[in-house]
Structure 1
Amino acid sequence: MYYLPNIEKYGKLKIISEYMRYDVPRAFIAKSKVLPKDVYIFSYWTDEYDTHDEWYYIHVNEDEKRRVENGEVQLRDLYNYKTVYSVKTPFDQTKPATLIELNAQDVDEESLPPVGFGVECIDGVFGMVKKPAEEYKTGDAFHEVRLFKPRGIKPISWSAAQQILSAWGRICESILDKVDTNATFSPSYAEVGSYKMQFKASHNKELISKVLSSNIILNDGNGNYIEGLKALGVDPRLIEEFIVSLAEHDLQFDVRSNSGWTIANFNYKELEDSAQHLKEFNQKSVGSHNIPQADEISRVIKYVHAKADFRPYNSETENITDRQILYYESAARMLGFTDKVGMLTPAGWKLSLCRDNEVEQYKIIVERFETSLCGWAWMQYAGVQSIYDVNPDSSEEFLLQYAIGLSPDTAKRRAKTLRHWLTRFNQMKQ
């Protein structure tokens, strides 16, 4: 059986599922005693030459085998994120077969199973079938995640799953927003009785590429965690939140292809060093949406008063642009005077009740700024306990080093706003 070679890497192979035959099996799953119990070889015939046949071998797991045989995924999808081996089997069986590990660029896309080809089972017999790609349960736009505790028997609580999956969602949405502001990301389905969930993303390949790079950076051990994540455009704060969530519930997290192959594992126990670096950096870092763009604090105060009095606050009443109006709304939200939907918080009502005492109003604003993400990070950067002890001229260097998601030019513009604020704070203190 020249098509089932005895190769040193795998030893003696045995076919356990045959999906296509033409004279000999052309697409099949084989078992090797060399591989773990739940790992198989998927072999697909690529071409015939004068002296030999060529095959593409990849490893598949039990879950992938099940999904293929249930007709849930295309055979082509099995090759996503896999190491592909070219195996040449001479017709002259006295000559040995050869195996070569291919680089990604050496894999001939035309030699993979065609788009739309999968497996169907009729009366217990498998066969190849072609149908529209959208009729398969998942495709390239999907990826899967799995929560698990390697040696645990206690069920994972919903609150734990919700917290970790929410943290994962925030990472993905942050990455995708930098790829395309109109990118979409949403849960697709979860398997009943499992801790697996499928997600659909409009730029899934770009997303997974950055996730894999982040995983490599976090496990690298060379200490360049922050620089690596920032270069990828991945927010270190969101990564810390994710790792902390896993540690809190003593869980591990796998990222899998749509076919069910594990392509990345996040084990918080192996990420202690990178988590410590993230913690130290994140005390000083701040995301772009938490950095004010509103130069005049007096307009922030006026906005809060208008909300308290149910009066309009817009480009006509303030004689500024709509974009500037958004800056002041955002600043009020950043300082905690309004909530996500624009309603006044207790801090906002407290500020509105001090409208006849400008000094008291600024005391409240300074307190809110010191406990905001931006103010706290700036104080940590400066190594001081009070915002009054921060040098206003340090704003630009602070943002260039620790702002997440800002270009150098934008960081310089935001630094100007921070200088305005701190200058005004000091004037009111005096």
Structure 2
Amino acid sequence: MSKKSELLFIKSKVFGPLYYHNVYSFYDEPLIFNALNEFGQLFFCYALGCDEKDDRWIVVPISEQNANKLEQKDMPILSAIKQSANSSVLVIKTSLESGKQDEEYVAAKKLPYRLPTDKVFIRENVNYDGKRAHTHRIRIAKNNNAQIVSGILNKASEAFGEFCQGYLKKFDLSTKFFPQDAITGSFVYRVKADNAKQLKLEGYEILSKISVKDDFLAALDEREVDLRTVRKLFDLLLSNDLKIQLIDEESTETIIELSAEYVEDLIKEVDERLGSYLDSSMVPQADNLDTLRRYLMLIEKYGYVTATALKVVDRQVSYYRDACRSLSLTHNYSKLTPVGTAALTSETDAEFVKIIQRQFEETECGHIWMINQGVDSIIKIDENSAAEFLIENCNGLSDNTSRRRAQTLKSWVKKFKLHS
């Protein structure tokens, strides 16, 4: 961050000292920018250049709301100068010879200078004083310009952030977006990326592909995208007729844009792939079915399970908890379902294993594995195909992790065959 003296733009007789804040155009020095006075009030400053005698500037107070419109490209530069039909601006002239400063209010509509047209917008937004806490904006708009319920705004923003973070993670880019604030009167969340430099160097190119249909479909086929996260976001955009954008604050570049129309064109493709979608959360890690039955007993008896009681290490408690949940044996991890009760009270090991087999065949993992191997029962499957199946079909697992997870599948299938 620069020292305050280095940020000084001009000492105005009318507005007091003005300091550089956000710069929109720069050539040797800032030419178009927002400045702050000592009280934190905003001013829009526009360089008129030099004539034979003076260096000339337009300075006009600007509200935070209008400054945000300017930075979001909702307002052209001209409207920041001529903010209303009857507004006035301060023209500051500094003599090139003597340095004497002259300040005069002029009606904006009577300015005798060549100004940009109403089609010219800012192209960058460099934070000059280091006061800006955010790096990006998540902008949400409704196609018919109607109001958006705040709950929908929050859900769409969270789902979009979750989607971007998850997609970047597939490329070993760990980036999170932390909300800083929301802009009053606008559907915009200002957020800070915790890894902004790497995001800009590598992540932008990755994210931008999502806005292109063919690239997006390729990402789906390469299992680079979590389909459930995508479906959640797409449903919010489509059902509420929304468009959402991720915008780089400094360059003002739109990195990614998803609209309801774009989503509508893609959602059938997403739904078709969901039928055969598998990710790491769907693959069990509870190797021992006898221990799984003990987990059910402990839940029924105590309502909770400890590693000591289950006779496993701490992390394995969650493995058996998740397996019971995916097999529909428990409700929310703490109460048995009717199927869970039937499994627990089964009179023989064979009867218990039969129940687990039937439940596994109905999970995404079991069902997709059987389709992949062309069989109609899990006991007809070659258990040695487990690792290759996971490597080729499971989203979010490395080859090594797939081989470890495959041990559970092999163990279960062997048990199923033993009691068939």
TM-score range, shorter chain: 0.5 to 0.7
Structure 1 residue 355 displacement after superposition:
4.5
C-alpha distance in structure 2 between counterparts of 1:67 and 1:330, whole Å: 45
Residue in 1 that maps onto 2:219: 225
Is 1:164 the counterpart of 2:153? The answer is: no
* 2:239 pairs with 1:244: no
250, 254, 260: which one aligns with 2:245 = 254
Task: Name the counterpart of 2:181.
Answer: 189
Deviations 1:138-165 (A, max 9, x none): 333xx22122233x14433445434433
Residue 149 of structure 1 corresponds to: 142
Are 1:427 and 2:418 counterparts?
Answer: yes
Structure whose CA Rg is larger:
2
Partner SS for 1:293 = coil
TM-score w.r.t. the length of structure 1 is 0.60
User: How far 1:309 moved relative to its partner?
Assistant: 0.8
Which amino acid in 1 is paired with 2:189? M
* 1-structure distance, mates of 2:266, 2:194: 30
Residue 286 of structure 1 deviates from its aligned partner by: 1.7
Query: Is the 1:355–1:361 Cα contact (8 Å) retained in structure 2?
Result: yes
Summarize the Cα distance change of 1:426–1:19 in structure 2 as closer, same or farther, 3 Å threshold: closer
Structure 2: runs of 5 or more not aligned: 1-19, 34-45, 50-65, 74-123
Alignment match of 1:65 (pick from 45, 70, 78): 70
2:420 corresponds to 1:400: no
Counterpart check, 1:287 vs 2:287 = no
Change (3 A) 1:205 1:269: farther
Equivalent pair of 1:305/1:352 in contact (CA under 8 Å): no
Alpha-carbon distance change, 116 to 248 in structure 1, aligned in 2, over 3 angstroms: closer
Distance 1:388 1:154, change over 3 A: farther
- Against the structure 1 CA distance between its residues 424 and 18, is the aligned structure 2 distance closer, same or farther, given a 3 Å change threshold? closer
Aligned to 1:108: none
- 2:240 partner letter: H
For the structure 1 residues 385 and 146, does the alpha-carbon distance in structure 2 shift closer, same or farther, using more than 3 Å as the test? farther
Would the alpha carbon gap of residues 364 and 352 (structure 1) be closer, same or farther in structure 2, given more than 3 Å must change?
A: closer
Distance 1:417 1:182 in 2: 29
- Larger deviation, residues 413-422 vs 352-361: 352-361
- Tell me which of 377, 388, 398 is aligned to 2:368: 377
Distance 2:277 2:178 in 1: 28
Q: Is the 8 A contact 1:226 1:277 kept in 2?
A: no
Instruction: Give the partner amino acid of 2:161.
Output: G
Structure 2 distance, partners of 1:293, 1:378, is 16
CA RMSD of aligned residues (A): 4.2
Match among 324, 333, 339 for residue 325 of structure 2? 333
Judged with a 3 Å threshold, the aligned counterparts in structure 2 of structure 1 residues 313 and 29 are, in CA distance, closer, same or farther, namely closer
- Percentage identity across paired residues of the two chains: 25
* 2:103 match: none
Unaligned residue ranges in structure 1 (runs of 5+): 1-16, 31-41, 46-60, 69-111, 118-129
- Please say if residues 221 and 274 of structure 1, whose CA atoms lie closer than 8 Å, have aligned partners that are also in contact: no
For 1:300, the equivalent position in structure 2 comes to: 292
1:19–1:28 CA contact under 8 A, matched in 2: no
1:253·1:266 contact (CA, 8 Å) conserved in 2? yes
Secondary structure class of the residue paired with 1:294: coil
d(CA) in 1 for partners of 2:221, 2:386: 20
Aligned residue for 1:144, secondary structure, equals strand
Aligned residues: 316
SS in 2 for 1:194: coil
Q: Does residue 213 of structure 1 match 2:186?
A: no
Kindly indicate whether the alpha-carbon contact (under 8 Å) linking 2:223 and 2:395 is maintained by their aligned counterparts in 1.
Answer: no
CA shift at 1:19, angstroms?
8.9
Whether the 8 Å contact between 2:134 and 2:192 is mirrored in structure 1 is no
Of 31, 38, 49, which aligns to 1:28? 31
Equivalent position SS for 1:356: coil
Q: One-letter code of the match for 1:27?
A: P
Contact kept in structure 2, 1:286 and 1:402, CA below 8 Å: yes
Kindly tell me: are residues 332 and 147 of structure 1, through their superposed partners in 2, closer, same or farther at Cα, counting changes over 3 Å?
same
Q: CA deviation at 1:312?
A: 7.4
Task: Select the residue among 131, 134, 141 that pairs with 1:139.
Answer: 134
Deviation at 1:419, TM superposition (A): 2.0
Listed one character per residue, the Cα deviations across residues 249-276 of structure 1 (whole Å, up to 9, x for unaligned) are: 3322111123665332113433566544
Query: How far did 1:240 drift?
Result: 3.6
- In the alignment, the residues of structure 2 paired with residue 377 and residue 308 of structure 1 have an alpha-carbon distance, to the nearest angstrom, of 31
User: Helix, strand or coil: the match of 1:309?
Assistant: helix
